[in-house]
Chain A
Amino acid sequence: MTDPAVPGSAPGSAPGSAPGAGLSERLTALFWRRPGLLVALLIMPPLLWLGVVYIGSLAALLWQSFYSIDEFSGAIVKEFTLKTYAELGLQQNIDIIVRTVLMAAAVTVASVILAFPIAFFAARYARGRWKAFFYLGIMLPLWSSYLVKVYAWKLILAKEGIVTWAANGIGAGPLLDGVLALPVIGGGSLSTSYIGTFLVFVYVWLPYMILPMQAALERVPTSMIEASADLGAGGLRTLRSVILPIAAPGIIAGSIFTFSLTLGDYIIPQIIGSSRYFIGQAVYSLQGTAGNVPLAAAFAVIPIVIMLVYLTIARRMGAFDAL
């Protein structure tokens, strides 16, 4: 289109693309004319990373779960079969799955209950110095080593630990013994019972619930809370009908963290709790000493399926309507 005799003056030639301009000017002009190209170039590397490293490895994992193991030689048979999934249905494996899911659900519910008042205060009342204090208080435990925290909790919850000592000191020793005498969740001491596992899970994952929840609650405009009161609603009604639905995506995001982190963890239940397996421990031992990678892969698929089901239900219930 451009007439070479009068560069840049012909109709239809962009001002930035005059012949003789430097490479960077010409690139700028190209990107200006085709904005999609720039976006594509910028998004390509992270997209490749996401595609190959995340989705790709997940697909490889899924693939492995359809292989099986030869019971005599211990070698992996690379043929498509549902045998491994049938193995997953054995009673001892079902027990592991149920145990892990119940623990993850309990940890999530407790985190929601504990996190909500904190997040609500931080989002709607804390200002300036208080807000800084809040962020520091939430983030500080995340900066220290996970293992150190878990071992610290083992000492705290041990039979000779500070919790037992304090309970005896205030005369609540029999109460603690009573709780530990409860079937299933009880045990010899807090550090060897499900209660201990639960407490440590809640402690470790709580910040992951508070932060998204607080961000979501901050997004609820004050005028909507006032509008609800203006229309005659009391505090609880406003909480149920306005605040929670609008903040639901954040609460769901937080619960994805606490739920999936608990589903996949294999260190906390190994250090604190009864010696019964959780999914994470099962995966760890199956792919390690047992060398049964297909079954480990099948176990690893369980949390993914559970999360998909959970999100589908949340969506059906309208948790994302306010997005």
Chain B
Amino acid sequence: MTPAVEFSHVSRLFGTVRAVDDVSLTIPEGEFFAMLGPSGSGKTTCLRLISGFEMPTAGEIRIFGAPSGDVPPNQRQVNTVFQDYALFPHMSVRDNVAYGPMVKGVPKAKRHAQAEEMLALVHLDGFGDRKPAQLSGGQRQRVALARALVNEPRVLLLDEPLGALDLKLREAMQDELKSLQQRLGITFVFVTHDQGEALSMADRVAVFDQGRIIQVGSPSEIYERPATRFVADFVGSSNVLSPTEARALGGADRWASLRPEAIRLLLPHDPAARLSGRVTTVRYLGAGTRIGIEVEGRLARELAVLIPAGQPVPAPGTMVALGWADPALHPMEAAE
């Protein structure tokens, strides 16, 4: 099957800055694909390369097999949900949603019916007569979604669409986006800097750093088997161990990741104890507590440990012993 989007050795330079640096990637049709990375990592530029608002300096982008080099944005079969929603302030919600069909020359009655149908899909029935300024952030987000979907795009691009929403709304929209994608079967390409969002929604995640893709894989692969220090640290703030430190703990002579939640607190003389140290910081997170431990002995550094809710939390200054199951110490593929 032809992939929905295909990058082969794509670069985009702004002056001398390599915003996108030799990126190759394949997104199959019907996939929920997340581009994850810190700001300035090139993920948004990649999205804009697909929508056609940026042109690659080198390399080629194919959309459903067709090279997109000469295709302007208004002729691509992709639609975008913009970060700031970009709703037209002078038009009603209905006219905003019907904008795409209007441009294509669909008669008024028909395009308004299409718009109402799309508004129902995003649970905004009856909001057609309002102006965007009369809607809440979450509702505007849904209008932006409806306005893109009414065009029946083969690929829907979403640029940090949930960034401006509060936590509760964001979680609700995550579920809704996911179920919408499954119902419609459209390819979603989703840009975010929120690792939780990427892991919970996407079928596959590409982790970006400094214009390059560092790792592509399913959320569990990314989380459990990070390829590099950067991925281990960025996705879930893991304890990243240098080759020397990993060897000292009985691991291979490579960079390694030890997830904070994989470490268990033990009594000081438990035979399973591998390290001991003193609690320095305690950060309550609700669903758990993240503590920092200054390790003594074989390893002199700070380790983060996540204690699940309901378990006792040691006070700062307390001496504790640490243990973990062997597979938890994950050696990373990359040498760096």
Contact = CB atoms under 8 A, between A and B. Distances in A.
A48 interface: no
Nearest to B53: A226
B114 to A, nearest CB: 13
Interface stretch (B86-94, B172-180, B182-190, B267-275): B86-94
Contacts of A318: 90
Given A230-B74, A233-B74, A234-B74, A224 B151 contact: no
A54 to B, nearest CB: 31
B74 A232 contact: yes
Contacts of A229: 52-53, 72-74
A246 interface: yes
Contact of A226 (B82, B88, B104): B82
A227 B90 contact: no
B100 to A, nearest CB: 4
B80 A230 contact: yes
A228 interface: yes
A221 B103 contact: no
Interface string B50-81: 01110000000000000000001111001110
A230 B90 contact: no
B311 to A, nearest CB: 45
A289 B197 CA distance: 80
Chain A residues touching B, majority SS: helix
Contacts of B234: none
A223 B83 contact: yes
Contacts of A237: 103
A117 B88 CA distance: 22
Contacts, number: 68
A212 B31 CA distance: 47
A321 B131 CA distance: 10
Contact of B89 (A223, A226, A228, A246): A246
B99 interface: yes
A322 B74 contact: no
A231 B79 contact: yes
Contacts of A226: 51, 53, 73, 80, 82, 86
Given A321-B90, A322-B89, A322-B90, A231 B84 contact: no
A82 B53 CA distance: 63
Contacts of A248: 90
A245 interface: yes
B147 interface: yes
A237 B87 CA distance: 16
Interface residues of B, number: 26
Contacts of B151: 231-232
Interface string B139-177: 000000001100100000000000000000000000000
A322 B226 CA distance: 48
A61 interface: no
Contacts of A215: none
A224 B132 CA distance: 13
A286 interface: no
Contact-residue size bin, chain A (C-beta under 8 Å from the other chain): 20 to 34
Contacts of B82: 223, 226-227
A231 B100 contact: yes
Nearest to A319: B90
Given A230-B80, A231-B151, A224 B74 contact: no
Nearest to B82: A223
B238 to A, nearest CB: 35
A230 B73 contact: yes
A245 B90 contact: yes
Interface string B298-313: 0000000000000000
B103 A227 contact: no
A218 to B, nearest CB: 15
A239 interface: no
Contacts of B73: 226, 229-230
A230 B79 CA distance: 6
Contacts of A224: 86, 88
Contact of A232 (B83, B84, B87, B103): B103
Contacts of B148: 230-231
Nearest to B76: A230
Contact of A228 (B72, B75, B99): B99
Contacts of A321: 89-90
A245 B104 CA distance: 20
A231 B147 contact: yes
A242 interface: yes
Contacts of A322: 89-90
Contacts of B102: 241
A8 to B, nearest CB: 38
Interface in A242-260: 242, 245-246, 248
Contacts of A231: 74, 79, 99-100, 103, 147-148, 151
7 contacts: A227-B80, A227-B82, A228-B88, A229-B53, A230-B51, A245-B88, A318-B90
Given A234-B74, A241-B88, 10 more contacts: A221-B84, A224-B88, A226-B86, A227-B147, A229-B72, A229-B73, A242-B88, A246-B90, A248-B90, A321-B90
